[in-house]
């Protein structure tokens, strides 16, 4: 709960929900939890707007409430707000794993926050009805929905127990539904309000995060050793889901024979060298560990340990980029020696005395390393020099880096907001032209005319019906500057996603540290 987190959260709320929600969110973030009356008082917003904002926040699971007698306290959930920028990644994951139908379903569900299966499928169907390329089919959608529910990417939303005035949300176990296609088609043709389906669904972020975590680990092993090793780790992680809880810090041991069976599917080379690969992974990355000898050897995945290593790699990169390779050398040296004196740093790092000292102090200044003074007994008087031992507190360094990530994320977002404001008129115009062009395409106008609308416009002023819109079309300098603005926005958006990836690794690391 740092100040930087607050800034990012307010930036995100502003982007997705506008200024009013941002104001309410900020207020909640600053005070922890507070009742509605207080929010109205401190923000100075009208009651209806505050209610509306809170409703939005509650709907998307960005805030919770807690009842104490008659007073209801509202509390912001900053971690969930950060997930908003991860949406593109969720969608990409769905598209690669289950195809575009799944992507559409999840996208719709993310936008709706929670809704019933029928409403979800029907609205997706209606949305893309006219799109010939997608070629949607209600049976396929239904099947995808069921497989998503089975795999746990979507789950049933908690049910409100409305015995008292204040509802209490109770999580329920997900039961994979049996949807009737005929009913769905009926619902499509009639009004959605009449549908009796009352089981609400929402996206299960946790399931996605497991995927992301595995992906990071597998990629790391692939980078360090080779593809086969990556495949082997993937297999071990799959086995882990069968036998132990998915966020366990160490998986329960898997016998070698099981792994061999699995490896037969992958490749011959793999099959013959399973044991060797296991040994190499264990020695080179310590992501796995041999835990016993039963069944030809038992191996378990050390998730917590793996995340520690990944965070260490993150720290190394950050230090390298910020202070240079020499500083990274000192940083690693200190980490590998646990506690080390200044003289020894210089000897081992092979750096000139002065440079070495300077870099060490810089590292200290940026909080990448810590120092522990060891004072000798006071009796020795002034002659006794204190010994200063340098060491790395990974947990603290991870905090520092996370804060820097928040800060950069905030900066990137505010720059993109700024760019958007500066180019608002242009971008708006461009969007309108796009709509016109899209409309013309749908009406089947010749390509020639469409191209003309994009760049040249004067001719169209003469053509009656188009006059109004055509006045809005873009001049060539406008085209270049809007393209420039869009390019900037794209770069910023891409870096937002990259930052989010880093934040994901850090957050997973922190979940294991608790």
Partner 1 sequence: MSDNKSDEVSEKILNVARKNPKGISDKDMAAAVPELTSAELVAAINKLLQQGVFDLYNQGGSLLYRLKNQNSKQAIKGADNEEKVVYNLIEEAGNKGIWIRDIRIRSNLANTQLTKVLKSLEGKKVIKAVKCVNASKKKVYMLFNLEPDRSVSGGAWYQDQDFESEFVDILNRQCLRFLQQRADKIKNNPRGPIVGRTQSYATAAEVQKYITDLGISKVKLEVEDVITILNTLVYDGKAESNVYPDGNRVYRAIESLLPPPGLVQVPCGVCPLIHKCNSTGLITPQECKYMDEWLEQ
By the criterion CB under 8 A, which residues form the site for partner 1? 7, 216, 220, 223-229, 269, 272-273, 276-277, 279-280, 283-285, 309-310, 313-314, 316-318, 320-322, 325, 328-330, 332-333, 336, 348-353, 355, 401, 404-405, 407-408, 410-412, 414-415, 418, 488, 491-492, 495, 497-503, 505
- Identify the CA nearest to 398 among candidates 492, 323, 335, 338: 335
Comparison of 350 and 387: residue with beta carbon closer to partner 1: 350
Considering the complex, what minimum distance in angstroms separates the CB of residue 132 from partner 1?
38
Min dist CB 86 to partner 1, Å, is 12
Task: State which residue, 350 or 471, has the beta carbon closest to partner 1.
Answer: 350
Q: In angstroms, rounded to a whole number, what is the distance separating the alpha carbons of residues 25 and 57?
A: 8
Residue closer to partner 1, measured from CB, 225 or 437: 225
Give the integer Cα–Cα distance in Å for 287 and 279. 11
CB of 454 to partner 1, least distance (A): 25
Q: Closer CB to partner 1, residue 348 or residue 449?
A: 348
To partner 1, the closest distance from the beta carbon of 318 in angstroms equals: 6
What is the closest distance, in whole angstroms, from the C-beta atom of residue 156 to partner 1 in the complex? 34
- Burial class from Cβ neighbours inside 10 Å (0-12, 13-18, 19+) for residue 167 reads middle
Contact 334, 288 (CB under 8 A): no
Which C-beta is closer to partner 1: that of 102 or that of 308? 308
Instruction: Kindly state the tokens that stand for 164.
Output: 């008292």
Distance CA 119, CA 199 (A): 11
- The rounded distance, in Å, linking the Cα atoms of 19 and 148 is 35
Closer to partner 1 by Cβ: residue 55 or 317: 317
Nearer to partner 1, 111 or 491 (CB): 491
Q: Give the contacts of 398 (CB within 8 A, at least 6 positions apart).
A: 311, 314, 315, 506, 509, 510
Check: CB of residue 25 under 8 Å from CB of residue 57: yes
Least Å from the CB of residue 259 to partner 1: 15
Task: Using the minimum distance from each CB to partner 1, give the nearer residue, 111 or 353.
Answer: 353
Q: How far is the CB of 217 from partner 1 (least distance, A)?
A: 9
Neighbours of 2 (CB within 10 A): 13
Query: What's the CA gap between 386 and 464, in Å, rounded?
Result: 89
Cα–Cα distance between 453 and 433 in angstroms, integer? 8
Tell me how far, at minimum, the Cβ of 75 lies from partner 1, in Å.
24
CA distances to 55, 63, 112 from 75, in Å: 12, 5, 21
Compare residues 203 and 314 and give the one whose CB is closer to partner 1.
Answer: 314
CA atoms of 25 and 17, how far apart (whole Å): 10
CB of 407 to partner 1, least distance (A): 6
**Considering beta carbons, is residue 207 or 501 the nearer one to partner 1?**
501
Cα–Cα distances in Å, from 447 out to 133, 188, 208?
A: 19, 35, 43
Please name which of 67, 65, 68, 3 lies closest in space to residue 29, comparing C-alpha atoms: 3
Q: For residue 376, give both structure tokens.
A: 């000798």
Give residues with Cβ within 8 angstroms of 424, minimum separation 6.
none
- The least distance separating partner 1 from the CB of residue 493, rounded to whole angstroms, comes to 12
Based on CB atoms, which residue is closest to partner 1, 127 or 488?
Answer: 488
Of 244 and 416, which CB lies nearer to partner 1 in the complex structure? 416
Conformation bin of residue 6: beta by default, left when phi > 0, alpha when psi is -120 to 50: alpha
- Least distance (Å) from partner 1 to the CB of residue 494? 9
Residue 330 sits at the vertex; the CA angle it makes with 324 and 332, to the nearest 5 degrees, is 100
Integer Cα distance of 301 and 284 in angstroms: 14
DSSP bridge pairs for 302: 250
> Rounded to the nearest whole angstrom, what is the least distance from the CB of residue 350 to partner 1 in the complex?
5
- C-alpha span between 356 and 272 (Å, rounded): 48
């Amino acid at each position: 709960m740092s100040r930087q987190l607050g800034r990012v959260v307010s930036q995100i709320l502003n982007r997705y929900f506008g200024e009013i929600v941002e104001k309410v969110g900020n207020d909640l973030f600053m005070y922890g939890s507070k009742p509605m009356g207080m929010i109205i008082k401190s923000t100075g917003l009208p009651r209806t707007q505050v209610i509306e904002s809170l409703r939005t926040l509650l709907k998307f699971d960005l805030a919770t409430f807690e009842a104490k007698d008659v007073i209801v306290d509202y509390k912001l959930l900053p971690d969930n707000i950060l997930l908003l920028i991860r949406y593109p990644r969720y969608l990409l994951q769905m598209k690669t794993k289950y195809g575009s139908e799944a992507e559409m379903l999840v996208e719709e569900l993310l936008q709706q926050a929670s809704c019933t299966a029928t409403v979800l499928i029907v609205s997706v169907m209606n949305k893309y009805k006219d799109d010939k390329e997608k070629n949607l089919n209600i049976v396929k959608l239904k099947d995808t929905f069921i497989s998503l529910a089975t795999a746990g990417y979507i789950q049933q939303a908690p049910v409100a127990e409305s015995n008292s005035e204040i509802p209490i949300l109770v999580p329920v176990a997900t039961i994979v539904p049996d949807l009737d296609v005929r009913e769905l088609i009926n619902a499509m043709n009639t009004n959605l309000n009449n549908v009796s389906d009352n089981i609400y669904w929402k996206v299960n972020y946790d399931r996605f995060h497991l995927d992301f975590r595995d992906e990071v680990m597998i990629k790391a092993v692939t980078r360090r050793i080779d593809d086969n090793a990556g495949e082997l780790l993937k297999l071990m992680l799959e086995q882990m889901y069968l036998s132990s809880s998915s966020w366990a810090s160490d998986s329960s041991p898997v016998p070698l024979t099981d792994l061999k069976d699995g490896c037969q599917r992958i490749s011959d080379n793999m099959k013959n060298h399973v044991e060797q690969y296991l040994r190499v992974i264990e020695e080179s990355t310590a992501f796995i560990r041999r835990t016993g000898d039963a069944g030809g050897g038992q191996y378990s995945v050390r998730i917590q340990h793996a995340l520690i290593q990944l965070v260490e790699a993150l720290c190394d990169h950050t230090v390298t980029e910020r202070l240079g390779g020499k500083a990274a050398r000192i940083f690693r040296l200190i980490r590998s020696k646990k506690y080390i004196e200044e003289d020894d740093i210089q000897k081992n790092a092979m750096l000139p005395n002065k440079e070495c000292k300077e870099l060490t102090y810089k590292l200290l200044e940026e909080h990448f390393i810590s120092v522990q003074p060891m004072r000798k007994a006071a009796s020795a008087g002034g002659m006794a020099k204190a010994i200063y031992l340098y060491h790395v507190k990974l947990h603290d360094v991870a905090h520092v880096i996370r804060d820097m990530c928040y800060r950069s994320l905030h900066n990137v977002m505010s720059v993109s907001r700024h760019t958007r404001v500066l180019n608002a008129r242009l971008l708006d115009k461009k969007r309108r032209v796009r709509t016109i062009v899209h409309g013309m395409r749908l009406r089947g106008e010749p390509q020639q005319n469409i191209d003309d609308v994009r760049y040249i416009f004067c001719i169209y002023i003469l053509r009656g019906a188009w006059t109004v819109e055509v006045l809005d079309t873009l001049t060539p300098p406008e085209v270049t500057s809007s393209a420039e603005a869009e390019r900037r926005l794209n770069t910023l958006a891409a870096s937002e996603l990259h930052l989010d990836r880093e934040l994901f690794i850090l957050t997973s690391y922190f979940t294991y540290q608790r």
